[in-house]
Amino acid sequence: MQIINCPTLAELNEQVSDLLIREIRQNPQALVCAATGNSPTGIYQKLVEKQSSIVVAGLSFIKLDEWYGLGADDAGSCEYYLNTHLLAPLKVSPDRYIAFDGKTNEPIADCKRVQHLLEEHGPIGLCILGLGQNGHIAFNEPADALQPHAHLAQLSKTSLTHTMIKDTNTEIELGFTLGMADILQSKKIILVVNGTHKHEIMQRLTEEKVSTQLPASFLWLHPDVQCFYCESDN
């Protein structure tokens, strides 16, 4: 893992958006896995601003995770976030997008559906990740063992305090997520970390010790990971 320290959030957003453009130019047919949350928002905004410099018609996207119980119209859902910040601005058609259904009554079947589509259209070419305060990647939470493929995860107390769902009236306990093997099979991974509240978990990550209690540490096993880190909140 290569760690790139950025002095400001604006610099991080510029560097990562430029990297995404270079990667998309090199592989215009890539399957892109897109994280949600606070960390990638500015990056997606910059990418949308610069989209005239790339061809996105051949790209396809897969949603990394989703709160179980929230649908596409819920402002706190990952679906709503991605549609707002990335998919709609880039004019990505539904046939080029793989996503968990947060409102499904058959969550296990939905995991199998997403896994099948990933196997059919994958592997992921470019995976954009954030880092949870407890070290989770997507909804792969710290545990004695990690699941390799798409599954419905019991969410930690840390995940359930996320700002995305602070205003929802839906009781949330579970989340859909791609598994660690799915993520590690990506050709390239970009990990984005920013904010003073991420200082402690970044310190743990840079110890380079791989543990299921720190799922993000498994990224050390991947041959092509770039981590962009800004300790500042702005």
Q: How far apart are CA 221 and CA 214, in angstroms?
A: 13
Fold of 2-230: Rossmann fold (3.40.50)
Residues of the chain with pLDDT under 50: none
Pick the catalytic residue from 134, 149, 222, 231.
134
Of 101, 141, 151, 182, which residue is the catalytic one? Answer: 141
Residue 173: predicted pLDDT: 96
pLDDT at 38: 86
Let me know if 65 is a catalytic residue.
yes
Active site residue 136: yes
The per-residue pLDDT for 233 is 79
Q: Among residues 85, 136, 151, 162, which one is catalytic?
A: 136
pTM score above 0.75: yes
Q: Which tokens go with 169?
A: 């009236």
Q: Which residues, 6 or more positions from 226, have their beta carbon under 8 angstroms from its beta carbon?
A: 1, 2, 4, 19, 188, 189, 190, 191
Catalytic member of 23, 65, 74, 182: 65
Quote the longest CA-to-CA distance of the chain: 46
Is 95 catalytic? The answer is no
pLDDT at 216: 98
